[in-house]
DNA sequence: TCGATTTGTTAATCTAGATGAATGTTCCCT
DNA sequence: AGGGAACATTCATCTAGATTAACAAATCGA
């Protein structure tokens, strides 16, 4: 999604790190939030609500950037947990490096373009959450990210869709039956 | 939020128009999607689902930009309706004008910054939709946008929150009782 | 390799919020 | 000013999905 080398050149503080499956890249309550470029592997971000339940905000596989934008933008303590679903190689950097003066205008515009695309995806996510039943959200997810279901346990997909693992199990049975 | 004069200078095709309350600025199915800067008044965007129900995606008052980003980014027909809740003065422009070469780098970076903030708000919206009960979403909305409830009918706020007007009415009664 | 954790499924019961309907109120519009 | 539409509230009923629990299968770690 974003070019690794660009980031490394731009942000002198950027660093590459290797993580094991289940390791945390960020925890809730951290004072400073970074952005994470996934060079290899698979990450997920999620919150834990007042009842202790996890809610997956997003997944990020190779080439994606994952971050707690709310914390970064408004300088709040982080509210998201970010951990690894697979052993991963991650580039840690400051999102603000994209605002730096020594970056070419073309690069910035390119970055702007990517941001717009992600906003458009988020728009779709909100609309789906509000207006579509769980089964439609699931089929949309599978067709939008066909490679992810194979790498992600179903209960996490359920969480991403805003339903319980049991509900997703039932949905999948119904889909299988109707074919 | 964004500077009106900037847009006018940058996009030669940008135009200002006055709309009456209830007039449509965009309808579903349009081939070309524009961005709308609200100089004065109040707009809302929404979809109509397969059962004919409206779901408000966002409101935009003075200084905000409202657009169907999905349609713009992926060159799809528009899926959102956008109409006026008040008589409004609207600047219509091409989002792509922000990518233009004759825009100073500082302006682009400024714009990038605004985009990040809006992404952060969308992150919060998704998290709230997934993890918070309707009453919390309502109180969050009221405290985040205290001026809007006075200008927006409750059934549209309910729609924005993802609940029915009846449910919002009940929530408001409970809040009033508990005080 | 074996116990333990993680994962997925099924079923019974429960609940937040949807639906549908009736009623009153406020706001327009001409 | 007055009649119709839009708005808000209340209540009775319904339902998608949550919750709880029990169990089987797959995976993992030592």
The per-residue pLDDT for range A106-132, each reduced to its tens digit, is 888 888 899 999 999 999 999 999 999
Q: Is B116 on the interface with A (CB under 8 A)?
A: yes
- Sequence ranges of the domains in chain B: 4-99
Q: Do A112 and B111 touch (CB under 8 A)?
A: yes
Q: Is A108 on the interface with B (CB under 8 A)?
A: yes
The CATH number given to B4-99 is 2.60.120.10
Question: Whole-angstrom Cα distance, residue B158 to residue B55?
Answer: 9
State the nucleotide closest to B176 in CA–C1' terms: D9
pLDDT of residue A4: 61
Distances (CA, A) of A115 to A60, A125, A162, B172: 15, 15, 24, 37
In the stretch 5-44 of chain B, residues with CB closer than 8 A to chain A read none
The per-residue pLDDT for range A24-54, each reduced to its tens digit, is 999 999 999 999 999 999 999 999 998 899 9
pLDDT of residue B1: 46
Residue B99 in this model has a pLDDT that exceeds 90:
no
CATH architecture, range A4-101: Sandwich (2.60)
Which one has a higher pLDDT value, A111 or A178? A111
Question: Whole-angstrom Cα distance, residue A80 to residue A60?
Answer: 14
pLDDT of residue B105: 81
**Pick from B73, B105, B116: which is nearest to A73 by CB?**
B116
Q: CA A22 – C1' C3 distance (Å)? A: 21
* Alpha-carbon gap: B138 to the closest alpha carbon of chain A (Å): 15
Taking Cα atoms as reference points, which of B81, B72, B94, B77 lies closest to residue B12?
B94
> What's the DSSP call for residue B148?
S
pLDDT of residue A106: 82
In the predicted model, what is the mean pLDDT of residues B9-34?
Answer: 90
The per-residue pLDDT for range A13-30, each reduced to its tens digit, is 789 999 999 999 999 999
pLDDT of residue B107: 82
Q: CA A143 – C1' C10 distance (Å)? A: 27
Structure tokens at A112: 């702007």
In the predicted model, what is the mean pLDDT of residues B36-57?
Answer: 95
Q: Which spans in A26-133 are helix H?
A: 69-74, 105-131
pLDDT of residue B83: 97
**Cα angle at B28 between B24 and B31, to 5 degrees?**
105
């Amino acid at each position: 999604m974003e070019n690794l080398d660009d980031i490394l050149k731009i942000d002198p503080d950027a660093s590459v790190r290797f993580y094991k499956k289940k390791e945390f890249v960020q925890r809730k309550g951290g004072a400073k939030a970074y952005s994470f470029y996934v060079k290899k592997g698979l990450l997920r971000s999620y919150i834990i609500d007042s009842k202790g339940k996890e809610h997956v905000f997003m997944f990020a596989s190779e080439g994606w950037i994952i971050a707690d934008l709310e914390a970064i933008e408004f300088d709040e303590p982080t509210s998201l947990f970010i951990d690894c679903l697979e052993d991963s190689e991650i580039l840690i950097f400051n999102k603000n490096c994209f605002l730096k003066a020594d970056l070419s205008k073309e690069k910035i515009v390119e970055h702007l373009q990517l941001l717009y695309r992600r906003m458009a995806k988020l728009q779709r996510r909100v609309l789906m959450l509000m207006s579509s039943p769980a089964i439609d959200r699931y089929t949309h997810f599978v067709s939008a990210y066909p490679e992810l279901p194979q790498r992600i346990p179903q209960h996490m997909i359920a969480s991403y869709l805003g339903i319980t693992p049991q509900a997703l199990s039932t949905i999948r049975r119904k889909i299988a039956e109707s074919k």
